[in-house]
Amino acid sequence: MIKRMLFWGRIRADKLEEYKESHRHVWPELEACYRANGITKVSCFLHSNDLLVYTEYDPDIYLKGGKERISQNPVAQRWDKWMLDFKQDGFQNVEFEEVYRMES
Domains of the chain, start order: 3-86 (3.30.70.100)
Confidence of residue 21 (pLDDT cuts 50, 70, 90): very high
Query: In this predicted structure, what is the pLDDT of residue 19?
Result: 96
3-state SS, the chain, equals CCEEEEEEEEECHHHHHHHHHHHCCCCHHHHHHHHHCCEEEEEEEEECCEEEEEEEECHHHHHHHHHHHHHHCHHHHHHHHHHHCCECCCCCCEEECCCCCCCC
Query: In this predicted structure, what is the pLDDT of residue 67?
Result: 96
Question: Which amino acid, one-letter code, is at 37?
Answer: N
Judge whether residue 95 has pLDDT over 90.
no
Q: What are phi and psi of 9, to 5 degrees?
A: -165, 180
Provide the whole-model pTM.
Answer: 0.87
